Structure 1
Amino acid sequence: MTGLLGLSWRLLRGGGRGGLLGAGLTAVAVAVSTALLLFAVSANLAFQGRAEREAWRNPVAADTGVVAVQAVRRDYVRDLGITVVDVAALRPGAAPPPGLDRFPAPGEVWFSPALAELVRELPAGELAGRFPEKVGGTVGDEALVHPGELVAVRGQEPDAPVMTVKAPQDPLTGTAPTRVAGFTGEPTNDAQAYQALALIATVLMAVPLLVFGGAAARLTVARRDQRLAALRLVGATPGQVVLMTVAEAVITAAAGAVAGVALYGLLTPLLGGIEIAGGSWFAADLWPGVPYTLAVLAAVPLLVGLSAVVGLRRVVVSPLGVAKRETPPAMRVVRVLALLAVLATVPALGAGTAAGVVAVVLGLAFLAINLTGPWVVGVIGRITARTARGPARLLAGRRLVDDPRAAWRTVSGVAMTGFVAGFIGLLSPGSGLLGDADATTLRLTVPAARVSQLTEEARERLSAAGVPARVKVTGEGGDRTLAVTVTEAARVDEAVIDRARTALDGMVPGRGATSEADEERFGVLLLQDVGTGTVVVLTVSFLVAIVSAGITAASSVLDRRQTYALLRLAGTPLEVLNRARRAETLVPLAVMGGGSIVVGMFCALPFSFSAMNVSGLTVLLACVVLGFAGVAGAGAASAPLLRSVTADPAPRPD
């Protein structure tokens, strides 16, 4: 290795223990960013994969090239949903549905692995009685949304009643028989809702990660800037300085990115256990694949390199000022105008706004907060220095004024988390939003012409199954509804309800008995998943915030090791230095953390419910407590490093 690249490598390798520690901190920051960024990307791709595997059950009618008839119905057992797909071939040799080795013959049923196990475990009167057909095989993973999904595919004759019924069905319970040219289908509304939520969650996780990854390039920035400024003063050209900086940053970031991919691979089994939309994940769902992995591996070092180059302006333009440690000019208020411009667009959003537009606005809000943060920190520093009544606060204020960007990097993670908490906390719906739906009264829609016959048949079936129930006819006009209510409340449990479902199964082709709770099951599940997603997003955000605070706190000590050591030589107690470090972190954190929470809540207003629920308020309070505790703990963890760098009575220059 020769020339400038060789010099960059030697400077990186020969930087001493402090230089190697700084490079290690950068690598750790990049590794964490890469691993969590892979998770954010994989989550989005995983929901897309689920939507594609589920699409075949949402048939699209065909006018030409028809090869089969397909009908889909929702059934339930033990508070779990079952997808029942009836298919009939119209042409010999028709391609089978996804996940099946062959087209199901009439009188055959194919179970998913989880449903097959449940059929064996439960009494026949509770589940197996609904599928009297011969078992033909097992539905493969490529046709399932998640490993535990319950799916049954039944073969039928084309003229079977279930394949010829003309009555429309409720979209919540299934689709009427549809003539199809193949089992491709289209994504369901449910799948699209989850994809939209996943996109927004990806932005809430990915943007802070990108900001953190970019900030990693500026760790131990003072040490590097001093060295590069010296090279500029002895004749190095701006281009040579830029090339050496990019080489050093990219070498460190590339090593961290590779470590991040390995870290994500180790975490994948744990992440796969997170249950969303009723089940966990296939291992392949959470691996983004070679193209996306390579893209992340290339993008993260590139981001770090670009961030390092952006920070070189003073070194290139004013190397003497950097060498003399002159305080840079104050930042301009135009940074605040960028945030105000983004917030001005928020009232135009609403519940009907496309997820992509919401994601873009949230991303811009994140970036605007990151742009505004250093300016606000500088203002806080000037106020702190002017109102200081002791040496610790005076040192803290002067430090904030001297380098507000470095101080912002320490608290930016928690500030970003505060934005996420404010946004999610206001949107988190209460657990009782949908109320307590009735799960003990089953309803079955029947044709008006057969209502008397089917009412009597329902009573006979329920009696034969040992289910004491009252059958009542409701509705007027066309179709009527049989409302089946178990009469002995003390005996009402899941097993009794499942026996009633099984007894009523098949009475009306293509229709099953469902309760009010069944019809609201998707809404309840969605609310639960929003809560789960909130925990996941906030966990990622907190992890980024605490790691960011810890790494930048240690980096700050290394940057100012000479200053700290000289202050100790001048007689400044170590405790005063520690108090100053805490003040320069906690004071801007209180302002920026609270401000970012308010901004997040403002951005959530167009989509929020009428009032904040207790769980949303709890999320906000937990964020405040954990954020302050995490940053304070991260700062305390670097106290031994401060003691170490101030122990040398004659600190040498870099």
Structure 2
Amino acid sequence: MSGTLALSWRLLRGGGRRGLLGAGLTAVAVAVSTMLLLFAVSANAAFQGRADREAWRNPVAAGEGTAAAAVQAVRRDYVRDRYVTVVDVAVLKPGTAPPPGLDRLPEPGEVWFSPALAELARGLPAGELADRFPERIAGTVGDEALVHPGELVAVRGQAPDSPVMTAVAAADPRTGTAPKRVAGFTGSPTPDAQAYQALALIATVLMVVPLLVFGGAAARLTVARRDQRLAALRLVGATPGQVVAMTAAEAMITAAGGALAGAVLYGLLIPVLTRIEIAGGPWFASDLWPGVPYTSAVLAAVPLLVGLSAVVGLRRIVVSPLGVARRETPPAMRFVRVLALLAALAAVPALGAGAAAGVVAVVLGLVFLAINLAGPWVVGMIGRITARTARGPAGLLAGRRLTDDPRAAWRTVSGVAMTGFVAGFIGFLSPASGLLGDADAATLRLSVPAAQASRLTAEARERLSAADVAARVEVTGEGGRRILAVAVGKAAGDGGKAAREDDGTSGGPARAGGGAGPARADAAAVDRARTALDGLVPGRGATTAADEDLPGVLLLADIGTGTVVVLTVSFLVAVVSAGITAASSVLDRRQTYALLRLAGTPLKVLDRARRAETLIPLAVMGGGSIAVGVFCALPFSVSAVNAGGMAVLLVCVALGFAGVAGAGAASAPLLRSVTADPAPRPD
């Protein structure tokens, strides 16, 4: 151990009870930052993992001159308001490697179920699900081929000349796609997976930048005491290089311990985090662990960031150690900090809904950093205004303190300011849950060839009658495309129009199953009808309007879930940041508090001044950051403001103020402790 590192370790251990408390606060701040940073990094890795596991369903088509190894068709079926991914595969080249998660490719007449689909098929009556798969169950689709543990997937083996493998693409791709000749099962992410990855990237920026700011601020906790000690060492002969080395070593030793603790805490939270449902299901535990490379990078980067942040503030100690020792007020910050924020905001109007996710992430990150840069200048301005307009000693003390050290005051409220930006941005953009309306869930629609409309209508009635499903069958549409509409339940009652086709033929009331239907079609009846119609048109399934809206409904729900997750992370950062910085501020100024107490200042006045020092800039910076967040969201707004999103925004503001106020109040006992003995200390 080198002499500088040994001296740093000795000073850290010999700092006394309050010195160790300050180091402990830094370690806690780093632990929280590391834990949440690992979560943010894991979110992107998790969505990437999902995209990779789903890519085999979107393989690259065999090019001209390339021998196809298989033919594959993918479509979505539905059961109980959930979708089932059905993959039909016909092997053209024996020995073709199967996709990950399958031991082999199914042969004609075989089907492989995912565990969740197998369990659901056993739990429901056969006529509602299992009868759609008359093939022999020959295997289980492994986790490597599933997006999430609860995904419903069926992989069926087909002969190359089977109707499913030679079907023509449907007019609506949601009801079935044309079979594709593929050279293998190495594919690319689906459009849905890419959309979720883009959203995850933006959410990560909204979480990571405040975490980096908080982690950097952790290096400046109890900075006044450390600066006094380093200035004394500088005055007795320590070189600038030794001061920098000792500062970096002390900060990184503390941060390394906090980072390891944060990684352990995140590992313990993974079982809880896997229950967060996104894109229709929960997560595999392996998804939410970023892996050794990412974990190692975070554990190395966090201490380096803390060490760098600690060294950045050493200029005054190196250049003017006497001024630091005499507690001279540092020069005021310059307005150029605000110009940096204005420059970042000037790039926002150029964005829009069509902007690339990476560009949006970069611009939002720059705005975040610019807010952190301009924050201390604004706090200093607030301090000067507060001191000039103060009507009592508490306001005067608060204003003078804000003016004297705006950076320390900014560290206390920066968490809530960052949270305000996040709340303003996503609260303004959050779509209403009822944006897609209440779609029809009782009328199944199936695209049929016009030339076969009459025959398929009659066959559909026979199948529904055999399945004892009350339904009305009609054929609609023009040209070469017809839609077979099967109204189940209430829609099947008397009084409906007879089936009418474009060739002028008309039948009687197209009813199956006899008798009036129930008051409304229940899910079981719709699923029985869906099963009865399965295979009527090869490669296509019957769907309701609610089925076709399901991906959009899930996306809206996922955006809501993501909003809650991002705001939860932001709130946790804000409250922990406020609590830790408030406590460290008391430790930093214990000699000042003791001298004021010795001069006769009541403890109540000191506590009131301390609260005002937090709440005044909090009100200004919190409101300003919310306005900046809303401004950044304007280019992406495509509809009217969502009242629910605004309600979330208001709740965020209320919780933010309450959390910071509570965190500040928690340091009141520490203030009483440091002023219990007002005699000056030779610090």
1:643 equivalent in alignment to 2:672: yes
Q: Is the 8 A contact 1:162 1:510 kept in 2?
A: yes
Q: Please give the alpha-carbon distance, in whole angstroms, between the structure 1 residues aligned to 2:172 and 2:185.
A: 21
1:138 is matched with 140
1:592 equivalent in alignment to 2:594: no
* Structure 1 unmatched runs, 5+: none
**Is the partner of 1:586 in helix, strand or coil?**
helix
Residues 546-565 of structure 1 aligned to structure 2 (within 5 Å): 546-565=575-594
Residues 312-323 of structure 1 aligned to structure 2 (within 5 Å): 312-323=314-325
2:512 is matched with none
Q: Which runs of 4+ in 1 moved over 4 A?
A: none
Q: Please give the alpha-carbon distance, in whole angstroms, between the structure 2 residues aligned to 1:59 and 1:266.
A: 37
Q: Is the 8 A contact 2:210 2:368 kept in 1?
A: yes
Q: Please give the alpha-carbon distance, in whole angstroms, between the structure 1 residues aligned to 2:178 and 2:468.
A: 32
In the TM superposition, residue 491 of structure 1 has moved relative to its aligned partner by: 4.5
Q: Is the 8 A contact 1:253 1:301 kept in 2?
A: yes
1:23 is matched with 23
Stretch deviating more after TM superposition (172-181 or 157-166):
172-181
Kindly provide the amino acid, as one letter, of the partner of residue 510 in structure 1.
G
Q: Please give the alpha-carbon distance, in whole angstroms, between the structure 1 residues aligned to 2:56 and 2:71.
A: 13
Residues 242-641 of structure 1 aligned to structure 2 (within 5 Å): 242-486=244-488, 487=492, 488-641=517-670
Q: Structure 2 length normalisation: TM-score?
A: 0.95
Q: Is the 8 A contact 1:85 1:154 kept in 2?
A: yes
**Is the partner of 2:232 in helix, strand or coil?**
helix
Q: Is the 8 A contact 1:169 1:176 kept in 2?
A: no
In the TM superposition, residue 92 of structure 1 has moved relative to its aligned partner by: 1.5
**Is the partner of 1:335 in helix, strand or coil?**
helix
**Is the partner of 2:75 in helix, strand or coil?**
strand
**Is the partner of 1:157 in helix, strand or coil?**
coil
Residues 122-161 of structure 1 aligned to structure 2 (within 5 Å): 122-161=124-163
Stretch deviating more after TM superposition (110-119 or 476-485):
476-485
Q: Please give the alpha-carbon distance, in whole angstroms, between the structure 1 residues aligned to 2:236 and 2:518.
A: 91
Q: Is the 8 A contact 2:170 2:447 kept in 1?
A: no
Q: Is the 8 A contact 1:429 1:609 kept in 2?
A: no
Q: Is the 8 A contact 2:169 2:177 kept in 1?
A: no
Q: Please give the alpha-carbon distance, in whole angstroms, between the structure 2 residues aligned to 1:569 and 1:175.
A: 82
Q: Please give the alpha-carbon distance, in whole angstroms, between the structure 2 residues aligned to 1:522 and 1:557.
A: 52
**Is the partner of 2:118 in helix, strand or coil?**
helix
Q: Please give the alpha-carbon distance, in whole angstroms, between the structure 1 residues aligned to 2:16 and 2:374.
A: 35
1:169-215, Cα deviation, whole Å (9 max, x unpaired): 53323421111011112111100000000000000000000000000
Kindly provide the amino acid, as one letter, of the partner of residue 611 in structure 1.
A
Q: Please give the alpha-carbon distance, in whole angstroms, between the structure 1 residues aligned to 2:318 and 2:486.
A: 81
2:681 is matched with 652
Residues 125-204 of structure 1 aligned to structure 2 (within 5 Å): 125-168=127-170, 170-204=172-206
Q: Please give the alpha-carbon distance, in whole angstroms, between the structure 1 residues aligned to 2:30 and 2:226.
A: 18
1:4-43, Cα deviation, whole Å (9 max, x unpaired): 1111111000000111000000000000000000000000
Q: Please give the alpha-carbon distance, in whole angstroms, between the structure 2 residues aligned to 1:382 and 1:570.
A: 24
Q: Is the 8 A contact 1:565 1:651 kept in 2?
A: yes
In the TM superposition, residue 489 of structure 1 has moved relative to its aligned partner by: 4.6
1:73 equivalent in alignment to 2:84: no
Kindly provide the amino acid, as one letter, of the partner of residue 554 in structure 2.
L
Q: Please give the alpha-carbon distance, in whole angstroms, between the structure 2 residues aligned to 1:254 and 1:524.
A: 44
Q: Please give the alpha-carbon distance, in whole angstroms, between the structure 1 residues aligned to 2:99 and 2:524.
A: 32
Kindly provide the amino acid, as one letter, of the partner of residue 379 in structure 2.
V
Residues 210-221 of structure 1 aligned to structure 2 (within 5 Å): 210-221=212-223
In the TM superposition, residue 649 of structure 1 has moved relative to its aligned partner by: 3.1
Q: Is the 8 A contact 1:232 1:319 kept in 2?
A: yes
Q: Please give the alpha-carbon distance, in whole angstroms, between the structure 2 residues aligned to 1:2 and 1:291.
A: 29
In the TM superposition, residue 98 of structure 1 has moved relative to its aligned partner by: 2.5
Stretch deviating more after TM superposition (179-188 or 398-407):
179-188
Q: Is the 8 A contact 1:562 1:653 kept in 2?
A: no
**Is the partner of 1:100 in helix, strand or coil?**
coil
**Is the partner of 1:389 in helix, strand or coil?**
coil
1:470-518, Cα deviation, whole Å (9 max, x unpaired): 1111111112110110212515110000000000000000000001111
1:400-443, Cα deviation, whole Å (9 max, x unpaired): 00000000000000000000000000000111111111111100
Q: Please give the alpha-carbon distance, in whole angstroms, between the structure 2 residues aligned to 1:471 and 1:166.
A: 24
User: % of aligned pairs identical?
Assistant: 84
Kindly provide the amino acid, as one letter, of the partner of residue 38 in structure 2.
L
1:86-106, Cα deviation, whole Å (9 max, x unpaired): 001101112123211112011
Q: Is the 8 A contact 2:429 2:642 kept in 1?
A: no
Kindly provide the amino acid, as one letter, of the partner of residue 545 in structure 1.
A
Q: Is the 8 A contact 1:107 1:133 kept in 2?
A: yes
2:513 is matched with none
1:109 is matched with 111
Q: Is the 8 A contact 1:97 1:183 kept in 2?
A: yes
Q: Please give the alpha-carbon distance, in whole angstroms, between the structure 2 residues aligned to 1:97 and 1:129.
A: 26
Q: Please give the alpha-carbon distance, in whole angstroms, between the structure 1 residues aligned to 2:338 and 2:234.
A: 33
Q: Is the 8 A contact 2:170 2:176 kept in 1?
A: no
Kindly provide the amino acid, as one letter, of the partner of residue 665 in structure 2.
A
In the TM superposition, residue 652 of structure 1 has moved relative to its aligned partner by: 1.1
In the TM superposition, residue 565 of structure 1 has moved relative to its aligned partner by: 0.8
**Is the partner of 1:176 in helix, strand or coil?**
coil
Q: Please give the alpha-carbon distance, in whole angstroms, between the structure 1 residues aligned to 2:643 and 2:347.
A: 29
Q: Is the 8 A contact 1:96 1:104 kept in 2?
A: no
Q: Structure 1 length normalisation: TM-score?
A: 0.99
In the TM superposition, residue 2 of structure 1 has moved relative to its aligned partner by: 4.2
Kindly provide the amino acid, as one letter, of the partner of residue 371 in structure 1.
L
Q: Please give the alpha-carbon distance, in whole angstroms, between the structure 1 residues aligned to 2:372 and 2:678.
A: 38
1:597-642, Cα deviation, whole Å (9 max, x unpaired): 0000000001113322221111111111111101100010000000
1:509-563, Cα deviation, whole Å (9 max, x unpaired): 0000001111111111100000000000000000000000000000000000000
**Is the partner of 1:181 in helix, strand or coil?**
strand
Q: Please give the alpha-carbon distance, in whole angstroms, between the structure 2 residues aligned to 1:585 and 1:329.
A: 22
1:43 equivalent in alignment to 2:72: no
Q: Please give the alpha-carbon distance, in whole angstroms, between the structure 2 residues aligned to 1:646 and 1:305.
A: 31
CA RMSD of aligned residues (A): 0.9
Kindly provide the amino acid, as one letter, of the partner of residue 570 in structure 2.
S
In the TM superposition, residue 65 of structure 1 has moved relative to its aligned partner by: 3.1
**Is the partner of 1:115 in helix, strand or coil?**
helix
Q: Please give the alpha-carbon distance, in whole angstroms, between the structure 1 residues aligned to 2:95 and 2:120.
A: 32
1:13 equivalent in alignment to 2:19: no
2:224 is matched with 222
Q: Please give the alpha-carbon distance, in whole angstroms, between the structure 2 residues aligned to 1:550 and 1:92.
A: 65
Q: Please give the alpha-carbon distance, in whole angstroms, between the structure 2 residues aligned to 1:97 and 1:558.
A: 60
In the TM superposition, residue 168 of structure 1 has moved relative to its aligned partner by: 4.2
| Residue correspondences, number | 654
